[in-house]
Structure 1
């Protein structure tokens, strides 16, 4: 944690929105090679053959162990834990007392009373705070991502994703055994290069696959064995650029704005939380009410995860929200002509250009919040935007009012900031409106159905 707390930083900046809009903290990137071939080919690999992605460096692990570890997680998670035994994992979701999302991460139940919470720091910090300030008989070990870890110190574990239609055949080749019939988000073990490898049945881009992990010192041998066996299955290594877009196909929103920056109920948490864990806020949303940036689990597709079979922080609020959800998650397919015009403005010298559109991922703040309009009125928030080569489409993941959520509905996304902020990734530019069409989330039919089929 940094010496300055988030609460102190808010007061110094004159408000949370001022602090976050001008924060120099960039979006999370992935400290692996940007491309091994090119990001278009690497995107296509998880659709057409098999891709190998390295997750070892960009995520943080919070290991929680002890007799009260499960109670701690249950007290803070909206998920049901009734049947959550060792060898399973789940998308763990936590909310604040008002039912607004703090964050999500993948929770691995490794052994009895031993868990690994993996993801961006938002929800990990929330869990660690409650352990340190609450009455729980448990301990934590934190393995920060490679940006924040002590220089020269490797990760505790390697973590690889093997996914695509050839993933199972590849794993059978490299292990010399049939791949067990494992349900989605259940774990099994493989033997690769003489090492025991734990595997989670998973699929980041909506394709069949496994997340493989084990001790860091064994990772190179495991990776080399996969690469050696992969040629006959058209294995392609996916670099950071392609990896950053995998969520667009499976419709996972990586960094919704965490609802911790306002309210007396969370003041003690903000006093504990260091600014090193803080992100940046970008986009065309310009409300001065910070709660307008908050979302609920129902807004971004986690409504089916919420289980009222236990007490947890925010339960009473979510029970009321569940009666009348306001918004839902969708994919917005951006109008190709409007995107081309925005990019083309970079070559026109007679006026200020539009905000630069990065490829393949165009998000330029950790927490992207762009206005979605219908007839000039706010109808939602676009949160993550990028290009899917497999669909030849620029898309964004968004939450929109239920009244405008039907596929085919026409909306407008406001791209760029007004006024421009001081974030390093923001150059002088003008706002532009880009037409978009509402589509399902996930956008890809295979991801909507087959890959989660148990």
Structure 2
């Protein structure tokens, strides 16, 4: 296993962008069955009945415990912690000293002085680094995802997401009791198959539901009970393909480019962070200034959770950014004819085809950064793209300049790389321009207006 640091890798490659564009690290995948039925039916289930998604394997958990655990998290998080007691969770967001996003994850407040930070490693690594190099009376226990965990050791906990209009009815049958009233992003407990199950009220696809978790050894019994209760409610197990697109309906951007690859203030972190912990950069963005790839919380929909009621890394910068945000998050609905033409180019001999568009999720790097143009000028970045069978639409989540953010605005997404990078998922191809229409984020009306209140 390589012990090369990111800082060493940047020097070896001749720059951060060269290192990331040609990284052999593939996008994160979901190490569960790709499909239990087919991904179209599985996508429909969370809209029409109820879907069960297995989250046990693809996320990393960082357990933080001790008298200074909350202070550590508060020092790095843009969120308010004024009323964040045990039994609650939040979308935790951290930025660098310039106010650019490091990453986000879900933070569970499990017990007094004990937390679980769950998600992609970007923000978890940032928190762990500051604990190890700062003066905090706290400890961590890390449970990597099933790709990175040492062979033969199972996850510490199981996680099952149950969501859809029939989720509550399913859980009431599985528990044998009415569900307790619980607010969005609050936790409660159930008893299923004689096991106590902790449950977070939320929904990855913007539908009503719960995330259930408990000790790994009890997971099979809980799963069996859910499956046994499911037929009358139209329960469908969702595999990795469908699950990878759930964020497109709820408008969560899963892996924005982390702003850690430049600046003297972050050199110590880059020297601590191994290259095995970073991701790859893909897409048509071709600026040689790495700062052009960075985003702020306001760019991708987290402005509402920034709280200036405490000191944190990046606060001063965000206070200035908040006065005049540059961009905002939108959904881009790709033109069907242009998508069909790009796919059709694969079947026309004698010409270099467009970059392969994989279904249902077309992102081919962990950090996808495609140019969004208006009148030939760069006005934003498209960051995550895939097909929503429920809408029969190819969409991407993007951040665009405020002047081009009104629904109905016509823009263009540049798909493919020029020149082609050396990433293993990149074949010889040509860039194409795909027309797109700006739509709200979330794209689905229910996710925008209703599900947090259910």
TM superposition score normalised by structure 1: 1.00
Paired with 2:2 and 2:87, the residues of 1 have a C-alpha distance of 35
Q: Distance in 2 between matches of 1:174 and 1:119?
A: 27
Partner of 2:233: 233
Counterpart in 1 of 2:213? 213
> Does residue 1:60 correspond to 2:25, yes or no?
no
Q: Deviations over 1:375-412 (max 9, x none)?
A: 00000000000000000000000000000000000000
Task: Give the drift of 1:453.
Answer: 1.9
Deviations 1:198-240 (A, max 9, x none): 0000100000000000000000000000000001101000000
In the alignment of these two chains, the number of paired residues is: 454
What secondary structure does 1:304 align onto?
Answer: helix
Structure 1 distance, partners of 2:331, 2:282, is 19
**Residue in 2 that maps onto 1:420:** 420
Q: Which residue of 2 aligns with 1:322?
A: 322
Cα distance in 2 between the residues matched to 1:83 and 1:276: 37
Say yes or no: does 1:401 pair with 2:401.
yes
1:271 corresponds to: 271
Quick one: distance in 1 between partners of 2:213 and 2:58? 14
Q: Which residue of 1 aligns with 2:282?
A: 282
How far is 1:321 from its partner? Answer: 0.2
Q: Distance in 1 between matches of 2:171 and 2:351?
A: 54
Match of 2:302 in 1: 302
1:3-402 alignment runs, 5 A limit: 3-402=3-402
TM-aligned CA deviation for residue 181 of structure 1: 1.3
1:117-136: per-residue Cα shift (whole Å, max 9, x none)?
A: 00000000000000000000
In structure 2, how many angstroms separate the alpha carbons of the residues matched to 1:20 and 1:355?
19
Distance 1:253 1:157 in 2: 25
Distance 1:182 1:102 in 2: 31
SS in 2 for 1:343: helix
Unmatched tracts of structure 1, length 5 or more: none
For residues 441 and 453 of structure 1, the distance between their equivalents in structure 2, rounded to whole angstroms, comes to 18
Runs of 4+ displaced beyond 2 Å: none
> 1:2 Cα shift?
4.4
- Could you report, residue by residue, the CA deviation over 1:75-134 in whole angstroms, capped at 9, with x for unpaired residues? 000000000000000000000000000000000000000000000000000000000000
Question: 1:350, 1:104 → 2: CA distance?
Answer: 45
Distance 1:331 1:52 in 2: 25
CA distance in 2, matches of 1:139, 1:449: 40
In 2, distance between residues paired with 1:179 and 1:385? Answer: 36
Report SS of the residue matched to 1:170: helix
Equivalent-residue separation in structure 1 for 2:2 and 2:197 (angstroms): 35
Q: Shift of residue 72 of structure 1?
A: 0.1
* Match of residue 429 from structure 1: 429
Q: CA deviation at 1:350?
A: 2.2
Structure 1 residue matching 2:303: 3-state secondary structure: coil
1:24-64 per-residue CA deviation (whole Å, 9 max, x = no partner) reads: 11110000000000000000000000000000000000000
Q: Deviations over 1:151-204 (max 9, x none)?
A: 010000000000000000000000001011110000000000000000000100
Q: Alpha-carbon deviation of 1:276?
A: 1.2
Q: 2-side partners of 1:193 and 1:275: how far apart? A: 43
Separation (CA, whole Å) in 1 of partners of 2:121 and 2:348: 41
Give the gaps of 5 or more residues in structure 2.
none
Separation (CA, whole Å) in 2 of partners of 1:219 and 1:380: 43
